[in-house]
Structure 1
Amino acid sequence: MFNSGCFNTIRLLAAIQVVYGHTLAHLDIPNIPIFHEIISFFLGVPIFFTMSGFLIWGSIGRSKNFAEYLKKRFWRIYPELWVAVAIELIVLLLLYNQPIQWFQFATFTFTQSTIFQFWTPDCLRGYGCGCPNGALWTICVLIQFYFFAYFIYKVLHEKKIGIWLLVIVASLAVSYFISVVQSDVSEIISKLLWQTLLPYFWIFLVAAFVAEKKEYILPALIRYWWLFLIAVLLIRYTGFDIRAGYNVLHTITLFACLTGAAYAFPLFNVKTDISYGVYIYHMTIVNALITCGYMRNQWLMLIVIVTTCILAWISTKTIGEYSRQRKYKDTQSKY
């Protein structure tokens, strides 16, 4: 019953929402009314985080040990990321006409390719929107979660609901506390805190909880996904919510709605998941357009989305396919 769902489609829509939001802001394009209302429903980062927490739980359970689990995460993230970073830097070098500090550039190359994607050197602040690929900041958070998720699984797997709720509430409290005190600490500390797992941990945990108790929770989500849809719309248009990293009620009800709908309508699934490629390539296109002076034209939105999807599809079918084969080979190895 729970083996198939239209998660590829949901992740793609979430990725396109991120592309839409970034293109709108950085290219100074007016809203596209109907499309805006539809795509804005699929909040990109909350969906990525919840879907990661939900789907990774089963992956941990299927992994023979920590080493195999890490290899699977490596092949899922890094090969495509490295190629995307290489293309990003090549485009930057071709278009950027300001002096570059090469030691800073080398350091930036390293940080973009590892887990410190949130850092941009001063010498590159004049390129594009001021950050060559700011969208990659979530990779740092995802990698932190992937690392700790394995040990969280060992602690919380098969634990009672009360224990889970206690941990989720505690993580929510930590996130809310960070939101409250951020104005009382230095700017650098505040920025670094928001690059850690702490403000977003509850999002992953809520999704992992649903995966852990799926036999009890998923049937209700599948049957009543439309009720959660109504709840999402009410929360969205009334603004009634609590902020803890992201809006708590909106994130939870959206996850419940989309997870239930994913299993209720599996035939809506797209065959190839290009969402990761869409996420890691779109700002390369946006920054190239800014640098070339193309802004304030709604047709640019179509150019960004189409070009990004083409690059993402090529990446998925080449580097991504190679990574999947290597990941499969590693999981078949005997330890």
Structure 2
Amino acid sequence: MFQHNNHQLTKNNFDLLRLLFALAVCLVHAYELSGFQQIGWVASILSSAVAVKAFFVVSGFLIFMSFERSSSFASYASKRIRRIYPAYFTAVMFCAILLVAVSSKNIEHYFSFAWVKYVLANLAFLNFLQPTLPGVFESNKLAAVNGALWTLKIEAMFYLTVPILVSLFRKYSRLPILVLVYCSSVAYAELFAAAAQRTGSRVYLELGRQFPGQLSYFMAGAALYYFLPLFERRIKYFLAGAALILAANIAFPLPLFEPFALATVVVFFGIFLYVGNFGKHGDFSYGFYILHFPIIQLFLHMGWFRESPWNFLVAVVLATATGAIAMWHLVEKRFLNRSSHYVAATTSPSECAPLLCIPSFKKVQQLRDPDLGA
């Protein structure tokens, strides 16, 4: 079992970062799905692709830590399922049942084989098999009910790779395995990118961003977790190198180095410059992410705020935030283990929840197994 015994990990900004990433994805999708030029500035300063990659970095850092601190594979699997599936199931079924109200089909034709296929495919993370519901959002720019769920399939596959990789880490040298998996992921993504450029087919781009094309970001987060002491000692060099790589990547793509450079920046803001216990009232980022897409689609279908794009954007964010808060309190929190730091934060405010945070260079403390967020 791997532990950073020379650190006290008690404070972090990961809850805040994940919420900001979810908000960025929501804002970009609001523009892309609506096509409202008045809010086009969103896509010029924010990137949903970068936000998703940053999500994967955070997951890599946290999920490897979660496994290393789990007492068994069953414990690890239980935490992962409890954290992501109840809310995911709720989001899928909520749309499947309630969107009959806006379908152009009658009830008999709505609850058809296509509806069953949608439910089964989406509950199994196979969203691409049936992204639409009968008669729902047909007049929208995109008919998909929840186009954001594709990342959950990848996230679930990441979770399955962690026990395999950790078992290899415990038998062989960790660094070569991390580098090999990281480079293989980059090579996979670049192979399909080249095929897309050669053929002009976007199918290859879609294949390239699937598993294991995004694994490099997950592994970059894992590498920074395992080599956190080195990262702390050489933080100035890591940040300077990351800044140069990300700046150069704008003009001259550096696919081999960009994932690690992005991970460096994300993890730095995650464990340094602590801004307070942002998650003391709950982690709303996951609910925000899985609910924003159908909410945007519903607003567009109903024509709400069509004449006022700014009001549309604000209303979408507020509606999504409301849904995320409700999802947390009514669903997510109820399935967490009692050892979850979120549960501890709400039931014992005087206690400091032990999870990943700014490293202390002076005090050593053994941490209990945290129930890390997805």
TM range (shorter): 0.7 to 0.9
Structure 2, gaps ≥5 residues long: 1-6, 344-368
CA 1:250–1:32: 2 relative to 1, 3 Å: farther
Aligned with 2:110 (options 89, 96, 100): 100
Superposition deviation, residue 200 in structure 1: 1.3
CA distance in 2, matches of 1:269, 1:226: 25
Shift of 1:104: 1.2
Residue 147 (structure 2) aligned to one of 88, 109, 134: 134
Task: Tell me the TM-score normalized by structure 1.
Answer: 0.84
| Superimposed CA distance per residue, residues 275-319 of structure 1 (whole angstroms, 9 cap, x where no aligned partner) | 100011001211111211234612111111111011101111221
Q: 1:204 corresponds to which residue?
A: 218
Give the conservation status (yes or no) of the 8 Å contact 2:216–2:259.
Answer: no
Q: Distance in 2 between matches of 1:183 and 1:225?
A: 32
1:72 alignment partner in structure 2:
79
Q: How many residue pairs end up in the alignment?
A: 325
> 2:15: which partner in 1?
8
**Offset, 1:213:** 1.5
1:82 to 77, 85, 89: 89
Match of residue 178 from structure 1: 192
What's the TM-score, normalizing by structure 2?
0.76
* Aligned equivalents of 1:107, 1:79: Cα separation in 2: 20
Contact 2:100-2:110 within 8 A present in 1 as well: no
8 A Cα contact 1:92 1:127, kept in partner: no
Contact 2:27 2:313 in 1 (8 A): yes
Take 2:198 and 2:65, find their aligned partners in 1: how far apart are those partners? Answer: 40
Cα RMSD over matched residues? 3.2
Q: Does the CA contact (< 8 Å) of 1:91 and 1:284 recur in 2?
A: no
- TM-fit CA distance, 1:19: 0.2
Q: Is the 8 A contact 2:125 2:152 kept in 1?
A: yes
State the AA in 2 paired with 1:277. G
2:162 matched residue in structure 1: 149
Q: Given the alignment, which residue of 235, 257, 266 partners 1:258?
A: 266
Going from structure 1 to structure 2, the CA distance change for 1:186 and 1:257 (only over 3 Å counts) comes to closer
In 1, distance between residues paired with 2:226 and 2:85?
Answer: 27
Q: Does the CA contact (< 8 Å) of 2:28 and 2:46 recur in 1?
A: no
Mapped to 2, the partners of 1:111 and 1:327 lie a distance apart of: 32
Does the alignment pair 1:280 with 2:290?
A: yes
Deviations 1:238-282 (A, max 9, x none): 432235xxxx54443232112112222122451232110001100
Answer 1 or 2: which has greater helix percent. 1
| Other-structure match for 1:242 | 254
Identity of aligned residues (%): 22
Q: Using the alignment, how far apart are the partners of 1:54 and 1:267 within structure 2?
A: 19
Task: Give the distance between the partners of 1:250 and 1:183, measured in 2 at CA.
Answer: 20
Aligned with residue 299 of structure 2, among 272, 289, 292: 289
The question of whether the paired residues in 1 share the 8 Å contact of 2:60 and 2:222 is answered with yes
Is the alpha carbon distance of 1:233 and 1:35 closer, same or farther for their aligned partners in structure 2, counting shifts above 3 Å? farther
Tell me, in whole angstroms, the C-alpha distance in 1 between the residues paired with 2:181 and 2:289.
30
When Rg is computed on C-alpha atoms for both structures, the one with the higher figure is: 2
Q: How far apart are 1:225 and its partner, in Å? A: 7.2
For 1:31 and 1:255, locate their aligned partners in 2 and report how far apart those are by CA, in whole Å.
32
Q: Runs of 5+ in structure 1 lacking a partner? A: none
Select between 67-76 and 192-201 the one with higher mean Cα deviation: 192-201
In the aligned structure 1, how far is the partner of 2:269 from the partner of 2:206?
36
